[in-house]
Amino acid sequence: MSVYNSLFYRSWHRITSVISAISWMRLYALFNGGRQYNLTDHDHEILKHYLAGSYYIILINRKTHLTTYLLGSLSFLKTGKWPKYSHALMNADAEEDVEDWDKFKFMEATSIGVHYSKFLEVFNCDSVCLLKPKALDHTEWNDVIDGLLEQNGKQYDDLFNLSDTSYVSCVELVLDALRKDPNYKNDFANLEAMINNVGNLTPQMYRDCSDFEVVLEIRR
């Protein structure tokens, strides 16, 4: 029997789902001019223009969520450095109409599984980084996006098991999409080396990997 069908995993998933909902956004807002997150409306406008017509790997961080610090601690234990980012996702289309926020679609893996999200559901945060793979051409990038979209509806992987693609965490969602690139081993050799060295993958490792170009970074 798969570990994902075990009583242990079902119980563990319930616990992590409760933990993922814990935040102190409202308390933080009392001391932050009413804002629950630090990215501003101007930052959002900048992001809209970057996202229009382009696909990215997106990293974000939220200071007021308990999971940020729990996952940060795990990342620190694995890599020896405290991460700047705690979540990874991708935009699921490259809508060019920058005036309508609701037309931007993103795909992410959270405790409820892999699903689409809207602009403010993603960018109500404190830090953001947009990454592009350096080696992908247009055709290969389309393969990656197809690999992303086919994961919609998968369940969340609370075990962070990179070898089982039936359940995915946020970093696995991005990784499994990238692995649809026919030239993945060459295009992402440095990423694979980092994964083999650490034994797993964290959002910060995407930021630190030389296979990716940092197109935009906003940290508040």
For 23, 34, 150, the CA distances from 62, given in Å and listed in that order, are 9, 16, 27
Report the predicted TM-score, pTM, of the whole model to 2 decimal places: 0.94
78-104: average pLDDT: 84
Residue 96 is part of which domain span? 3-219
3-class DSSP assignment, residue 178: helix
Question: Which residues are CB-neighbours of 91 under 8 A, at least 6 positions away?
Answer: 51, 55, 56, 58, 104, 105, 106, 107
At residue 161, the pLDDT reads 93
| Bridge partners, 216 (sequence order) | 130
CA dihedral 169, 48, 204, 200 (to 10 degrees): 30
CATH for 82: 3.90.1720.10
pLDDT at 102 over 80: no
At residue 98, the pLDDT reads 62
Domains in the chain: how many in total? 1
Report the alpha-carbon distance of residue 134 to residue 107 in Å, rounded: 21
pLDDT at 110 over 70: yes
